[in-house]
Amino acid sequence: MTAIVGVMNRHAIAIAADSAVTMGNTHKVINNGNKLFMLSKYEPVGIATYSNAAFMGTPWEVIIKVYRKQLGEQHFPHLSDYVSDFVKFLHINNFFTDGETQHNWLKIQIEAFYRLNLRIICQKFNFKNFDSNDPVIIEKLKDELQSCLDANRINPSICNDFVGYTFEEFKSETHEDFEEIFSHTQVSNLPLELRDLFCESFFYYWRIQLEPDYHTGLVFCGYGDNELYPSIIPCIVASGYNNRLKYFINQAKADSISEHGTSVSIAPFAQTDVIQTITQGLTPDCQNIIFNTIKSGVDSYTEALCRYLSSKPEGKKFADEIRQLDNSSIINTLSQGVLNSMRDSYTSPLLNTIAGLAKEDLANMAESFISLTCLIRRMSPSEETVGGPIDVAVISKGDGFIWMNRKHYFNPELNKHFFNNYYR
């Protein structure tokens, strides 16, 4: 896992990342991963990665550095243009894979979708395992697949490469893949009568803007030529198949500094709980406890009032009417009031302070956010999924991409030729 944070104001953006990398499906964690890179040698643009460190088997570090070499001195008016050009670069290079690898990754996505549905029905109905001979379990699985299909068929958030792509085209292109999966994998346990429904349900699930099990977050940050203030654009990339790439811009986490709008932003990615605690004054878990307590309190008060009214001969009618009232608006108002109070008394003063910070202070704050996350993970009984050296960079309009902290796998003093050749 990973912790990444970008801290922006009108002076610059500071971005920091840890170095912990979990090896495959094991609990082995190493602390020498590179997650923060210059996207261009000449322009004020950077990129950070989180979650999967490779793209269908090819390390993102390799892909990014190949792109940087190809980009050369080319530049674009907006940061979003760099995102578009990078995605185009992946397409042109056939996703750095051959056809066999793309087929294998599609099968991985299909099997993951199968396990997801089994996990959902087992949790919903307390099934210990999937039994293809149990008609009750099969019926629940059918309902879940149909529900998934109905919801995703009308979902308007479709990945760009899948707009206009029909299920008939997909079925024709992937017929052999599904035949192999139904013959040689765990999915072979799927009853014959559900296989067509499973294929269609997977297609509509696969095309929407949703983070699958195997994905990478790419965080683009910096400036385009026409931008006076910094921006940050996160992009989710999963896998490619037959010249179609499952990717989308995470608009909910994209942000930019503007003259008359946002003047400061703290943007955490991957493991965000500690940073949210610092910026909001409460952990996300504590916020949930408060909101659940508010709901419980409103419900308890309503029930106590109804019991009191029911004890009066003339009050039973009113009690029945009160029980039918929808308390959600009251609960939402109280919960929003708590959030507003936290924002006004804690978050807003913190952001106002950050708005005036110089570049060095932005870097120190970004590094501190990651350091505190490392400390919390080290003190917890679970594996340390955030740790190692912290890479920190500051990107500004005038100075470009500046490393504040950066680890090297080699001794810089013994490799001066590397730096001499860097801009050749």
DSSP state letters, 304-368 = HHHHHHHTSTTTHHHHHHHHTS--HHHHHHHHHHHHHHHIIIIIHHHHHHHTT--HHHHHHHHHH
For the four alpha carbons of 167, 168, 172 and 173, in that order, the dihedral sign comes to negative
- Higher-confidence residue: 148 or 423? 148
In this predicted model, what pLDDT tens digit does every residue of 291-315 receive, in sequence order?
899 989 988 888 888 888 888 777 7
Give the per-residue pLDDT at 26: 63
φ/ψ (deg, to 5) at 58: -95, 125
Pair 389, 35: CB distance under 8 Å: no
Is the pLDDT score of 1 beyond 70? no
Bridging pattern class, strands 54-55 and 45-51: unpaired
Torsion angle, CA of 256/257/259/260, rounded to 10 degrees? 70
Place 261 in a pLDDT band, splitting at 50, 70 and 90.
confident
CA–CA gap between residue 171 and residue 198 (Å, rounded): 11
CA–CA gap between residue 32 and residue 50 (Å, rounded): 14
Is the pLDDT score of 424 beyond 80? no
In this predicted model, what pLDDT tens digit does every residue of 335-360 receive, in sequence order?
889 888 888 888 888 889 999 999 99
Pair 240, 97: CB distance under 8 Å: yes
CA–CA gap between residue 89 and residue 158 (Å, rounded): 21
Give the per-residue pLDDT at 24: 66
For the four alpha carbons of 186, 192, 194 and 200, in that order, the dihedral sign comes to positive
Q: What is the DSSP string of 216-261?
A: EEEEEEE--TT-SS-EEEEEEEEEEETTEEEEEE-TTT-EE--SSS
Q: Residue type at 219?
A: V
Pair 188, 115: CB distance under 8 Å: no
Supply the angle between the helices 175-184 and 195-206 in degrees, to the nearest 10.
120
CA–CA gap between residue 20 and residue 35 (Å, rounded): 9
Pair 55, 237: CB distance under 8 Å: yes
Count of C-beta atoms within a 10 Å radius of residue 66: 14
CA–CA gap between residue 57 and residue 105 (Å, rounded): 9
In this predicted model, what pLDDT tens digit does every residue of 181-222 receive, in sequence order?
998 888 888 888 999 999 999 999 999 999 988 899 999 999
φ/ψ (deg, to 5) at 220: -85, 135
- Higher-confidence residue: 44 or 21? 44
CA–CA gap between residue 341 and residue 318 (Å, rounded): 34
